[in-house]
């Protein structure tokens, strides 16, 4: 029988600026599952094909992805309400369709690049056994927090809960995360037993325990971007460089991440006069400062939905 880890009761401080552990978790998975790297290479080849083939390779209809939210909690304040969960789903359905009210704040030079991902989200109505469900599970834990480096929240042996069928559902775990992390996600092509998104409980949704400056639901939008094969907008090198890429043609080259609420423009990598697209969901700015996916990012997300995540969603 798997041995439970020691209970973690250290104080977990809410982050004051965005930090995503997607890349750290990703490199850990690559070490444990070497086939993940080969899967990613195949996925990138297919993504390039979709980019060249255009609409002929993609699903053009709007699809709805069934979501299961796994609330893993030790204290009652961590056991977030149904209302807080539903507020997050509402945010996703606006942000991924480019229907968010603050999209009007996109700077004029970037407005022609705004993309509609043609994706909506709905709490699952049937569980894997085809029984009626609210799309929400609740798991009491002894753990004071979970690390993104070992995916402990995704296993009952380590105080969490296993995912539902990751080919059919988007699994989102909501919990306390250690290390000042707001969330992380698994790129397509990884092991199914850890596939999905993890979000800090105080950065999920728009009401209840959601805490500024991460109380507009954008952390989960950012992480689902990764889940649908988007990189951070500045690239993924551990040391910033203008030679790195996010594999998207219509996002300007950008030296590094931005925090807080930058003013437009922010110029780097000789990308003036308009500069960095810091208001993109895949940067690190506060929730109130991010509000755009681009058309090029939509192609990557749709390629993921046509390829490695093709069993997700209904039209």
Give pLDDT tens digits for 138-158. Answer: 999 999 999 999 999 999 999
Which tokens go with 236?
A: 């993924």
* Percent of the chain residues past pLDDT 70, beyond the cut: 96
Give pLDDT tens digits for 79-122. Answer: 999 999 999 999 999 999 999 999 999 999 999 999 999 999 99
- Mind listing the domains of the chain with CATH numbers? 22-306 (3.40.390.10)
Inter-residue contact 170 to 224 (CB < 8 Å): yes
The per-residue DSSP string of 220-262 comes to HHHHHHHHTTPPPTT-S-SS--TT---S-TTSPP-SS---S-P
Inter-residue contact 305 to 120 (CB < 8 Å): no
Residue 12 confidence (pLDDT) = 59
With cut-offs at 50, 70 and 90, classify the pLDDT of residue 315.
Answer: low
Residue 8 confidence (pLDDT) = 43
Coil, strand or helix at 133: coil
CA distances to 89, 138, 294 from 99, rounded to whole Å, are 14, 31, 13
Q: Does 46 score more than 80 pLDDT?
A: yes
Task: Give the Cα-Cα-Cα angle 272, 108, 223 (nearest 5 degrees).
Answer: 85
Catalytic annotation present for 162: no
Task: State how far the Cα of 283 lies from the Cα of 277, in Å rounded to an integer.
Answer: 8
- Residue in 162, 223, 236, 311 annotated catalytic: 223
Residue 18, Cβ density class (10 Å: 0-12 exposed, 13-18 middle, ≥19 buried): buried
pTM of the model: 0.95
Which alpha helices (H) appear in the chain, and where do they start and end? 22-32, 35-53, 82-95, 218-227, 295-306
Work out the number of other CB atoms within 10 angstroms of the CB of residue 35: 11
**Distance, first Cα to last Cα, the chain:** 42
């Amino acid at each position: 029988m798997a041995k439970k880890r020691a209970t973690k009761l250290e104080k977990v401080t809410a982050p004051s600026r965005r930090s995503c552990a997607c890349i750290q978790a990703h490199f850990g998975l690559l070490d444990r599952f070497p086939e993940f790297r080969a899967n990613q290479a195949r996925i990138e080849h297919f993504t390039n094909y979709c980019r060249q083939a255009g609409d002929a390779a993609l699903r053009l209809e709007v699809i709805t992805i069934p979501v299961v939210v796994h609330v893993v909690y030790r204290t009652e304040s961590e056991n977030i309400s149904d209302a807080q969960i539903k507020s997050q789903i509402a945010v996703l359905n606006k942000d991924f369709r480019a229907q968010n009210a603050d999209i009007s704040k996109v700077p004029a030079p970037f407005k022609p690049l705004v993309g509609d991902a043609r994706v909506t989200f709905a709490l699952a109505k049937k569980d894997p056994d085809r029984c009626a469900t609210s799309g929400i599970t609740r798991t009491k834990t002894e753990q004071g927090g979970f690390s993104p480096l070992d995916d402990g929240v995704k296993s009952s042996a380590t105080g969490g809960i296993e995912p539902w069928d990751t080919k059919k559902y988007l699994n989102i775990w909501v919990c306390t995360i250690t290390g000042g992390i707001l969330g992380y996600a698994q790129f397509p092509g990884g092991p199914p037993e850890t596939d999905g998104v993890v979000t800090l409980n105080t950065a999920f949704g728009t009401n209840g325990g959601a805490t500024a400056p991460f109380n507009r639901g954008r952390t989960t939008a950012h992480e689902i971007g990764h889940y649908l094969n988007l990189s951070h907008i500045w690239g993924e090198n551990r040391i910033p460089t203008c030679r790195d890429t996010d594999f998207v043609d219509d996002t300007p080259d950008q030296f590094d991440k931005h925090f807080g609420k930058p003013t437009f423009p922010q110029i780097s990598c000789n990308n003036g006069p308009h500069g960095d697209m810091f208001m993109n969901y895949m940067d690190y700015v506060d929730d109130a400062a991010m509000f755009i996916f681009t058309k090029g990012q939509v192609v990557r997300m749709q390629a993921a939905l046509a390829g490695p995540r093709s069993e997700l969603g209904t039209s």
